[in-house]
Structure 1
Amino acid sequence: MLVHSFPPAITTHCRVLILGSMPGRRSLEMQQYYAHPQNLFWPFLETLFNIPATRPYQDRLALLNQQGVGLWDVLQECFRSGSLDGDIEETSIVANDFASLISQLPQLEHIFFNGAKAAQSFRRHVLKQQALPPHLQYYNLPSTSPANAAIKREDKLAQWQQLRTVMMH
C-alpha cells in the first residue's frame, strides 16, 4: 500500500529536528506522530522535557516546538505492506524535501534519527541527493517503536538523553 508522511511539525526557531522513517499504521489512522500506545516517544519526551504524554496531541506538539524541537519523517511516501520499517519497499522510497525545509530554519543545528531505518534512509535518499548545510550534526538514536524490543527501555532512554544534553547547550 502507498503511504504518505505528515507535514513537518516545526517552527522557524527550531534548533533540533527529530526524524522518523514513516509513520506506522496507527499514527496514520490517527494523523499523529508516534500514536501507537506502546511507542516510547511521548513517554521519553515527558521524562526529558516534562511534556505530559497524557496532554492532547496538539498541546504536546506545541510544547515540543516551544522547546525548539521539530518533528518530521525522512520519507515522503513509499510502498509498505505492513506497519514496520522492514516492510518498506526500498525502490518505492521518495524522500521529503529537506533542502527547502532547512533553508527556512536558520537556527537548526542538530538532526536526531528515531531508529536505524530513518538514519539509513536519510543518508541514502537525502544526503546523496539534496544540498544541505555542512554545519548540521547528526545523531542516531534507538527506535522508540514497540517493534524495537531488543534494547531495554532504560537503555533506550539513556541514549535519548543526548537530545536533552544538546538542548541544554
Structure 2
Amino acid sequence: MIHRIVGLPPVITKDSKVLILGSMPSVLSLESQEYYGNPRNHFWKIIFSLFNEIPLDNYGEKIIFLQRKNIALWDTIGSCYREGSLDAKIRDEEPNDLPGLIQKYLNIKLIACNGTKSFNTLKKYYSPESLSHIPVIKLSSSSPVPGRYNKTLQEKIVEWKEILNYL
C-alpha cells in the first residue's frame, strides 16, 4: 500500500529574494530530511557553481550558504502519493501554500521552478495575482535522471544563472 508522503518545510529568511521550488523531495531526501539529498542530483553543484564556489558537504553549511545568498527553497507540492522518487509517479498532489509564503516573505523577487513538474503544478493551482505578480521562470530540472530534454550539468549551470539577476 502506498502512503501519502509529506514534503519538507521551507528554507527561507526575511532577506530571501529568490524562491527555488522543486516538486516533491525524493525518497532519499525525505529519509534524510534534506533538500536535494540524493548525491547524484545536480542541485548543489549548480548552486555552488553559480557563485564560483566549491560545493560543501555538510547540509547545515549548505543551508547557511543559501541563506547568505538570499536563496530560499521549498516545493510546489506539500503532500502526495508517489511510489519511488519520479515526478511521473506523483498522484493526488496537494499544493503548498505559496501565496501565504509570499505574503509573509515580502522580499521574494523571483520564483524559479526546478523542472517541469514544479512549474506545471504551480501554474495548475496558482494565478499570477495570487503570487503577487512575482515573475516565475522554469529552469531545467536538477535531476540527473536521463530524459528527452535533460541537459548536461554545464548547460544547466548556464541556464540557472538567470536567478543571479534577482539577488
Q: TM-score, normalised by structure 2?
A: 0.91
Cα distance in 2 for partners of 1:93, 1:163 equals 27
* 1:48-106 per-position Cα deviation (integer Å, ceiling 9, x unaligned): 125542331111111101111100000000011121000101xx110001121111111
5 Å-filtered alignment, 1:96-111, equals 96-111=96-111
5 Å-filtered alignment, 1:1-169, equals 1=2, 2-50=4-52, 52-89=54-91, 92-127=92-127, 131-134=130-133, 136-149=134-147, 150-167=150-167
Shift of 1:40: 0.5
Could you tell me which runs of 5 or more consecutive residues in structure 2 were left unpaired when the two chains were aligned.
none
Cα distance in 2 for partners of 1:105, 1:50 equals 27
Cα distance in 1 for partners of 2:52, 2:30 equals 25
Shift of 1:3: 1.2
Amino acid at match of 2:7: S
Identity across matched positions, percent = 32
Query: Aligned Cα RMSD in Å?
Result: 1.6
Contact 1:52-1:60 at 8 Å conserved across structures: no
Contact 2:109-2:166 at 8 Å conserved across structures: no
Paired residue total: 163
Cα distance in 1 for partners of 2:62, 2:137 equals 23
Amino acid at match of 1:65: Q
Contact 1:51-1:60 at 8 Å conserved across structures: no
Q: TM-score, normalised by structure 1?
A: 0.90
- Go from structure 1 to structure 2 and tell me whether the alpha carbon gap of 1:16 and 1:39 turns closer, same or farther (over 3 Å shift): same
1:93 partner SS? strand
Cα distance in 2 for partners of 1:87, 1:17 equals 25
Contact 1:19-1:114 at 8 Å conserved across structures: yes
- Go from structure 1 to structure 2 and tell me whether the alpha carbon gap of 1:102 and 1:51 turns closer, same or farther (over 3 Å shift): farther
1:45 partner SS? helix
